[in-house]
Structure 1
Amino acid sequence: MKVVLSSACKQVQPLLGFQGGITDDQFYRPKDKVLFVMGATGTGKSRLAIDLATHFPAEIINSDKMQVYKGLDIVTNKVTPRECRGVPHHLLGVVDPEYDFAANDFRQHTWRAIESILGRDRLPIIAGGSNSFIDALVNDDPEFRSRHDCCFLWVDVSLPVLHSFVSERVDRMVEAGLVAEVRDFYVPGANNMRGLRRAIGVSELDEYLRAESTADEQTKARLLEEAIGNIKENTCTLACRQLQKIHRLHEKWNWNMHQIDASEVFLRRGKEEAEEIWERQVLGPSAMIVERFLFDEEEEGAEAATANIIVPAVPLAAAVAAVTH
C-alpha cells in the first residue's frame, strides 16, 4: 500500500496543555499502533522513517533531543524540506534553544502528537537516536503501554563502517557551513551544558572561535583541525553509547523489535548499487514488517518479538574497541 501525502513538508508545532488520565471508555478500546525507528546516529533512521511514511499514511515525531531545538540545522543534521518529501514532522526545530527540553517534556508532547496523528487516521512514526526519550515514553509510562501496540525497527550499521561514514559526514557538514553556523550561535563563556549548546560541535569549536580574531593563521588552522577531529571522535562515541543503550533497553522490552542491518548500504555508499541495496535490504524488509504489524494481528506478541531479534555476530564490547582504538 502506498499513500502519497500531498501536504507540504512542515514542522508541526508542539501541542501544549496536555493533561493525562484514562477515561472509562478507554479501557475497552483497541490499542492504537505506534511505530518506532531507532538506531545510532548516522544509520539512516530519518530516511527510513520518511520512506515508510510515503508507503503508509503516516506522520513522523522526532525523538532526537538536539533536533527538537530551533537553530543549528547543519550541526544537528536536521532533515531538509526536500528530504522530508511532504511528510509532516512533529517536534522538529520548534523548541527555544535556551530551554532544557527533558524526557518528561518529550513524553507529554509526544502523547499529544500521537493523539493528533491518530485522529487523522495516520500512523505515528517516532524516529530518532535519543533512546532516553523513548525509554521514558515506553518503559516509564504504564498508561502508554496500556493504550498502544508498538513495533520497533532498529536500523543497525556495524560500528567500524559507521565510524568511517560519520567521519565523511562531518567533513560534508563542515563544507556545508558548520563552522559559520556555530560562529553565529556562539556566545563566549556561555554554559554549553544547557539546551541546544549541548550539541556536538559547539563545545568542540569553543577554543578555535575564542582564538579566531587574535591567533595567527597557522594556530587557527591547527585549532580548527583539532576541533573537527574532536567532533568526529565525539560523534563516534555517541554512536557507541546509543548502541549500548539499545542493547540495555532490549532487555526490558517484550514487544515487536526488528533489527535491520544497513551495513552493506554504507559500504557501497557513492556507488550506483547502493540505492538498490537500500531498497532490497532495508526499505523492503521494513515495509513488510510494518504491513504485518498493521494488518496481521497474529504478528503481535512477546514470543514473536524475541524471535525477530538478530544478534550481532561481533560482541558489542569488541565492536566498540575496534572503533575507539
Structure 2
Amino acid sequence: MTMNMIPMCKQTQTLLNVPQSTGGGHGHKFNPRRQKDKVVVVMGATGTGKSKLSIDLATCFPAEIINSDKMQVYEGLDIATNKITREEQRGVPHHLLGFVDPNADFTANDFCDVTCLAVESILGRDRLPIIVGGSNSYVEALIDGYDYNFRSRYDCCFLWVDVSVPVLHSFVSDRVDQMVENGMVEEVRDFFDPNADYTRGIRRAIGVPEFDNLFRNGPLLDEKTRADLLEKAINQVKDNTCKLACRQLDKIRRFRNKGWNLHPLDATEVFRKRGKEANQAWERLVSGPSAVIVSQFLYNVKPEVPTNLAAIRKTATLAAA
C-alpha cells in the first residue's frame, strides 16, 4: 500500500508547550451541542494506517492528536518506533509524542494522567481530542480505569481500522525492509549500550533488542557471519512485529466483548492496491466512512450525509459556525 502524503504547513506542538488560551488556532471551532465533552479514539494493529486516519479526521474536523503508542512517547529512535514524521503530521498539533527521556519508565498511570491534561487543554481550545496509537493497555487503563472516571466525563467514539492478518503480515514485513532502508540499523547502532537494560524505557521497543547480538559481537566476526546476524535480526523484528499485531487484534476483540462500541473499518482492500487506487480505496472504505461516523457522533447529522470528504468538511464547518 502506498498513499501520497500532503506536506505539513505548521509546526506541531507537544504537551510541554501547549498554549492554555481557549479558542483560536487554525480552522473552525469545535462546538457541537452536547452534555458531555467528546473524544475520538482510533485503534488498530500496528501498520493498519491509524496515524493516517487520525490526520485525515483532524483535517476534516478541528482537532488535535494525542499519541497512545507507549514507545513513541519516548525521545529518539524515530525510525525504529515508526514515529509519524513532521511532513505526515500536516500541521496538526500532536501531544505525547517524543517527549519522555528514553531511559525513563512511562507507565499506564503516567499515560492516563498526562492524557487527561492534554484532553482538557485541547477541549479548552474548542477542538476535538483524537487519541491514536497501538498500545491498547494504555487505552484500556484510560477508558476503564480510574473507577470509569474518563467515561463519566467524556463520550467516546471508537474507530477500529482492521486489516486481514495475512495481508497485514505481508505489509509489516515490507515495512520493516523499508525501515532498514531508511536507516533503522544505523539508528539503533548509535543507541547501543552493552550495559543497557532492555526491560526499561525505549529499549523495550521492537527493533532494539533484536540487534544486540549483532552489535555486541559483530566487530569480532567475519563479514559473512555479520551479514547472517543482520539478516537474522531483521527477520526477528518482522516476526516480533507480526506477533505484536496479533496480540493487538486479540485485545481489541476483547474490548468488543466488554461492550465498547467499536466501529470497524475494513482496510484490507486498500493494502492490496497501490498508488491512486489505494488512495481511492482508503477514502471509500476508511476515511470517508470514519468522517461520517464522527459527524454523527459530534453533530447528530443524519445518516444520509455524503461520504465525500469535501462535503463532510463543509458540513462540519456549517455545524460548528
Q: Answer whether contact 2:39 2:154 (CA < 8 A) is retained.
A: yes
Q: CA deviation at 1:214?
A: 1.3
Match of 1:240 among 222, 240, 246: 246
Q: CA deviation at 1:212?
A: 2.1
Q: Percent identity?
A: 62
| Distance in 1, Cα, partners of 2:17 & 2:266 | 32
Aligned equivalent of 2:140? 135
| Distance in 2, Cα, partners of 1:138 & 1:38 | 13
Q: CA deviation at 1:248?
A: 1.1
Q: 1:11 and 1:56, CA in 2 relative to 1: closer, same or farther beyond 3 A?
A: same
| Distance in 1, Cα, partners of 2:14 & 2:223 | 41
Q: Answer whether contact 1:39 1:129 (CA < 8 A) is retained.
A: yes
2:271 counterpart of 1:266: yes
Q: Which runs of 5+ in 1 are unaligned?
A: 16-28, 300-325
The runs of at least 4 aligned residues of structure 1 exceeding 6 Å deviation read none
SS in 1 for 2:155: strand
Letter matched to residue 154 of structure 2: H
Normalised by the length of structure 1, the TM-score is 0.83
Letter matched to residue 92 of structure 1: L
What is the 5 A alignment of 1:106-121?
106-121=111-126
Q: CA deviation at 1:249?
A: 1.7
| Distance in 2, Cα, partners of 1:204 & 1:261 | 31
Q: 1:6 and 1:221, CA in 2 relative to 1: closer, same or farther beyond 3 A?
A: closer
Aligned equivalent of 2:175? 169
Aligned equivalent of 1:11? 14
Which one has more relative contact order, counting CA pairs under 8 Å at least 6 apart? Answer: 2
2:221 counterpart of 1:215: yes
Aligned equivalent of 2:312? none
Aligned equivalent of 2:292? 288
Aligned equivalent of 1:275? 279
| Distance in 1, Cα, partners of 2:234 & 2:169 | 14
Q: CA deviation at 1:298?
A: 9.3
| Distance in 1, Cα, partners of 2:253 & 2:128 | 26
2:70 counterpart of 1:62: no
| Distance in 1, Cα, partners of 2:175 & 2:210 | 16
| Distance in 2, Cα, partners of 1:76 & 1:177 | 12
| Distance in 2, Cα, partners of 1:226 & 1:298 | 53
| Distance in 1, Cα, partners of 2:224 & 2:51 | 39
Q: Answer whether contact 1:104 1:136 (CA < 8 A) is retained.
A: yes
Match of 2:197 among 184, 191, 202: 191
What is the 5 A alignment of 1:21-100?
30-100=35-105
| Distance in 2, Cα, partners of 1:292 & 1:228 | 44
Letter matched to residue 192 of structure 2: Y
2:236 counterpart of 1:230: yes
SS in 2 for 1:213: helix
Q: CA deviation at 1:12?
A: 3.5
